[in-house]
Chain A
Amino acid sequence: MDFDLTEEQRLLKDSIDGLLTDSYDFESRKKYMKEKGGWSKAVWGKLAEQGLLGLPFAEADGGFGGGGVETMIVMEALGKALVLEPYLATVVIGGGFLRHAGTDAQKAAHVPGIVDGSKTLAFAQLEKNSRYDLFDVATTAKKKGDGWVIDGEKFVVLNGENADTLIVTARTRGNRRDTTGIGVFLVPANAKGVTKKSYPTQDGLHAADITLTGVEVGSDAAIGNPDDALALIERVVDEARIALCAEAVGLMDESLKTTVEYIKTRKQFGVAIGSFQSLQHRASDMFVAAEQARSMSMFATMAGDFEDARERSNAIAAAKVQIGKSLKFVGQQSIQLHGGIGMTMEAKIGHYFKRLTMIENTFGDTDYHQRRVADAGGLV
């Protein structure tokens, strides 16, 4: 049992923290938001240069063979700096599908572009009525010759506006809520029949609603078994949840730090408001919540390698519950302790709160995961 980082992991942490300290202060972030697509190609290039975009891929595929802990380190750092770039969509999720089930040809076609920063991906999964159920898929993929024809609507596709390649979940057979008959397909973003409605999200990222109308893809488009890919989808989404937990921990750390600094310096009634016990206790409760979240983020990271899929999913669901509860408390109280200034776009704390809030509703909210844990027979 060991919670320490290895020497290499510490170096990784130092290097990404250093990169973001240099290039990602709050003012720079505002500039990046205004760039085309809503994030900085230059920063993305720096992440590529440091090998961070290739981190989780096997060395044979041109990556660096990093594991869950390495991704946790990166996501925590990205959270701390409130990074806009599509690491989750491209490296964690897109990369996840390729790593777990991509053929050699698929990996050869996509991994090098991810690693060198020239290509980004997006995961087109959410549908109008699917909410958080990954098996709830109405989009269809009908066999045509060797390939498929995909029809359906996908919503809030993160990085959907910019991605070169979409990873689309679609049903090859059965009914909307069947757990079998679901496939995962690589679709070029510029394929005929793909239309996008792009928009910024509440937290400053960019997403798109995507309509696929008679989109034809070849036999090489399916990742994994086109008739039975739910387990693959669950595995990759679990890894996305783990990554979100780590990102939230970084966000909470920074929120707490910023808030504590604020109440140490903000004076009312002639004293720093941090000298008031009611505020001290609130800040202490935020610390407790953030530490509990950190513990569960570590737990989720290690659970990512559990052999038993049920045990893995249950542990990650539990982590998402704890993170959801903690982030709501830390986020809301950060605004409360900042007072009026916390309500302004000008102060950075509100932006942390917004990103935290969006994380709660990504890939299952607190209630959803709590129900999953309850239905699985609990956690003791």
Chain B
Amino acid sequence: MDLAFTKEEQAFREEVRSFFRDNVPPDTRRKLVEGRHLSKDEMVTWWRILNKKGWGTSHWPTQYGGTGWTSVQHYIFNEELQSYPAPQPLAFGVSMVGPVIYTFGNEEQKKKYLPRIANVDDWWCQGFSEPGSGSDLASLKTKAERKGDKWIINGQKTWTTLAQHADMIFCLCRTDNNAKKQMGISFIVFPMKSKGVTVRPIQTIDGGVEVNEVFFDDVEVPYENLIGEENKGWDYAKFLLGNERTGIARVGVSKERLRRIRDLASKVESGGKPIIQDAAFREKLAACEIELKALELTQLRVVADEGKHGKGKPNPASSVLKIKGSEIQQTTTELLMEVIGPFAAPYDVHGDDGSNEAMDWTAQIAPSYFNNRKVSIYGGSNEIQRNIIAKAVLGL
């Protein structure tokens, strides 16, 4: 047992860190620190810088443009990225649909889609959840009917993150009504500008518009847009969701936020002195930092295990990472609320699309708190994660 990183790994960390220092646009970084949203342009600009460096699709197999890094290198890269902070690669493309295509897609699909995913020539969004299918995803109803060399798609998706920016969607559609609910689903991709696709924004409690409803009304999609085999979509969806294991803990994100809390708490006064000097506050902050340290170690254990024994099947430990990671993220936003106190109140009616900087940055703290309630709901709610642990680990 040894906690130390090797000399090579430390050098790698330096390389990553200095690359971020030299290449992340300062405005992009500042907005992330202040909890502001970024514009589409700002995100795409950064991702293309990353892709040019060859790090945009770091975890892909090398023949598709991956880096061939070890588990530990991926961990270091993610941690540095999150804690710099710089925008993370667009998960829907790079982490979700990309791996499904290079694992289950045909050669033509790989050639057509992968380079465009890597360079974010196409912005992808995810068509999984439906109004009646949240945690019970397999009950989804959006229908794809085969007509000659086409699919005709009808139905509705919801919670579609950043669909307003998207060029492409990957969609779970029901293609067999008679099979068991998991067995009649197919994985189909198509352009968002197809006729019959309508996007309706959903405003969330933070005032932002990150998610959308997406309606399909007789959308015609070429048959060849099916990925993998017909009616095997559920397997691909499970593969996709189990693919991302350690990133979900978002340790780097919470680390960065805790540093910010410390910084702000030494400036904001309470009782005539900086709030960091308040023993009760300081202990709450320490408690959160300790939880995060434990999570970081748990994550390193999973990373080390992957490095030794390969990725294999989804690891139930990822449920621990999801539960604790989301709880800690939420605690950090609570602590920020506590620091800012009464100045949390002013509300920016224009929302924040990255362009309006008229409002003081303190206006982002309450929205960030409201917005972060989602992290224990999405990606398999924390209750679903507990079901997974009970079943897969404890055998209940």
Contact = CB atoms under 8 A, between A and B. Distances in A.
A379 B290 contact: yes
The number of chain A residues touching the other chain, given as a range, is 35 or more
Interface in A268-283: 274-275, 277, 279-281, 283
B305 A3 contact: yes
A234 interface: no
Interface of A: 1-5, 69, 260, 263-264, 274-275, 277, 279-281, 283-285, 287-288, 291-293, 295-296, 298-299, 301-302, 318, 321-322, 367, 370-371, 373-375, 378-380
Contacts of B72: 1
Contacts of A1: 2-6, 9, 72, 300, 303-304
Contacts of B51: none
A295 B396 contact: no
A260 B317 contact: no
B320 A291 contact: yes
A263 B285 CA distance: 36
B292 A380 contact: yes
A351 B303 CA distance: 35
12 contacts: A3-B301, A263-B396, A281-B386, A284-B385, A285-B386, A287-B320, A287-B389, A288-B323, A291-B317, A299-B297, A322-B290, A380-B259
Nearest to B327: A288
A310 to B, nearest CB: 15
A69 B2 CA distance: 10
A291 B298 contact: yes
Overall SS of chain B's interface: helix
B282 interface: yes
Contacts of A280: 386-387, 390-391, 394, 396
The number of chain B residues touching the other chain, given as a range, is 35 or more
Nearest to B303: A1
A95 to B, nearest CB: 21
Interface in B295-328: 295, 297-298, 300-301, 303-305, 308, 317, 319-320, 323-324
A272 to B, nearest CB: 8
A288 B385 CA distance: 11
Contacts of B320: 287-288, 291-292
Contacts of A283: 390, 394, 396
B297 A298 contact: yes
B262 interface: yes
B390 A2 contact: no
A213 B221 CA distance: 93
Contacts of A379: 286, 289-290, 292-293
B271 interface: no
A1 B8 CA distance: 12
Q: Which 9 A-B pairs have the closest CB atoms?
A: A295-B297, A280-B390, A374-B286, A284-B389, A284-B386, A379-B289, A292-B294, A374-B282, A281-B386
